[in-house]
Structure 1
């Protein structure tokens, strides 16, 4: 009798173990299915970005190369080296636009990067906490201001100031573009540079100060060299912002239809503003030439970014 009772007691335990094993297997299958679904969603999201970029590149290059092929092909040499843009005369030269884009971007970087880096140094290394709470939010607010408001500020403040000192009759000029672009790239450069400077280990500063260096010597000879990779990355993003800016530049550049910029007082017409000004009403050959301008702008931006990314990676290795 006791043996039978013992046998009956073991049987429910066996059933319970089997049920637990089945439930565990079901949970594993459910977990695996869920993970596969989530992985598929992530993959689709990644493909959306890749396919979007691919589609944009294909469309722009397809439309931009068309005017240089076929029987009625336009000369690529005349297009890239010309200094006059006159669709009514079938003249499409963009060299003076390329020059304007290069000069305005270079000027903005020469002015904006030093100011941005020094501001980041001030916020992260020198300024008292109370002042940081005022300066840092003010810089961050600049990033949220629409481009058209920067253009309005340039047209209402910068251009009139330039008119007081320029030898030309107008204030819309390369100098106005450089000033406004310098202000526009500050939030990017300041924020990223500050993060890079704060990421430098504290022991670097302590070691430098322990060797007798002053605080300023430590900043410029130890901290900034250690943070140069992040500062260069900030510069890359700043250049991308400066090259691609359209609305603000269009309002203050002057946008001439011909002529190389001879000085900072000259009116200019960057590649981006040329596309924005005429694309809404262009058709036929003119529309294709605007897409060709977009191809040149795309190649120009890619070359600049690839060069700076390589410089940044080398700086990081050192």
Structure 2
């Protein structure tokens, strides 16, 4: 039997449990409603350019001319799509080897030095504002490329160089966690079979953690794909398809941030900008689906 002194404690425990359940449920409902509201708002605004203004989807996705104030107006977003993918993929190609090698150094080769000095330094990069990266790129990277290569230094190469530094903490942190979670018996078994350290890393550690490493790379690409300010400062913002990595171009985020404030809500140009935002959001969802698929592969 429950004594009289224990009844208030049991009652208090039940109240706390139900309070926690209610607060958690409300937070989940609020989060779901917020996400669906944002998707609905962007989707309705983005699709209005097709259903309300009669713009052809092929013209937006495949057109190469962006003249919203021309006669007739042209809304070819292909240069911006190519610019976004080019800078994101090139940034990932630069940052992925650096991040994975830094993670190997911190976990497998020099764990004391890496965890004490290298990891805090890399984590500090994540807290630096985007505008600082943009100023550094505009002051250092753009003049360097201007001196070494033909052109003004503005373009995909400069944008990708800045983005590679920005996504480096994401790739390195996820790679470090994946390598640290690897069972020690796997490496010990490799050493017991006569493999050297580099053979163990190359033939055992990296293949085993590859899905998690690719997850970090994809998340870094997702951040690079949605970055606006830093890329906007060094890419040149020219609405055409570049012929080289050192020619000015633009991205989806750049054209949205530069043009949205100069349009009237509900106008054709404003609706097309929302269409570009919808394309950007859909690509973000694609990156999320890829990450989930890689996580399921890592759990098998």
TM-score by length of 1: 0.88
Look up the match of 2:251.
270
Residue 183 of structure 2 is matched in structure 1 by: 201
The equivalences for 1:31-70 within 5 A come to 31-70=13-52
Q: Hey, what's the Cα distance between the residues in 1 that align with 2:102 and 2:114?
A: 12
Separation of aligned partners in 2, 1:26 and 1:129: 51
User: Over aligned residues, Cα RMSD in angstroms?
Assistant: 1.7
- Counterpart of 2:218 in structure 1 is 236
Q: Is the 8 A contact 1:229 1:316 kept in 2?
A: no
2:56 alignment counterpart = 75
Q: Is residue 106–residue 119 contact of structure 2 (8 Å, CA) maintained in 1?
A: yes
Among 60, 84, 87, which residue is 2:65 paired with?
84
Return the offset for 1:132.
4.2
Does the 8 A contact of 1:275 with 1:290 survive in 2? Answer: yes
Deviation at 1:131, TM superposition (A): 5.3
Deviations 1:104-155 (A, max 9, x none): 1111111111111011101111126245422221111101100010000100
In structure 2, C-alpha distance between the alignment counterparts of 1:250 and 1:160, rounded to whole Å = 16
Give, in whole Å, the separation in 1 of the partners of 2:59 and 2:142: 33
Higher mean alpha-carbon deviation, 298-307 vs 159-168, is at: 298-307
1:141-290 equivalences under 5 Å are 141-168=124-151, 170-257=152-239, 259-283=240-264, 284-290=267-273
Structure 1, unaligned runs of 5 or more: 1-16
Q: Give the direction of change, closer, same or farther, for the CA distance of 1:121–1:128 in structure 2 (3 Å limit).
A: closer
1:255 counterpart SS class: coil
Structure with max Cα Rg: 1
Equivalent-residue separation in structure 1 for 2:146 and 2:101 (angstroms)? 29
Deviations 1:191-249 (CA, angstroms, capped at 9, x unpaired): 11111111111111211111111111111111222222321221222111111111000
Q: What corresponds to 1:14 in structure 2?
A: none
After TM superposition, the runs of 4+ consecutive aligned structure 1 residues lying more than 3 A away are 20-27
Cα deviation code 1:295-317 (max 9, x no counterpart): 11111222233134313422431
Name the structure 2 match of 1:11: none
**How many equivalent residue pairs?**
296
Between the aligned partners of 2:103 and 2:113, the Cα distance in structure 1 is 16
Please list every run of 5 or more consecutive structure 2 residues that lacks an aligned counterpart in the other structure: none
In structure 1, the partner of 2:109 is 126
1:97 maps to which of 80, 90, 99: 80
Give the distance between the partners of 2:103 and 2:167, measured in 1 at CA. 13
Contact 2:218 2:290 in 1 (8 A): no
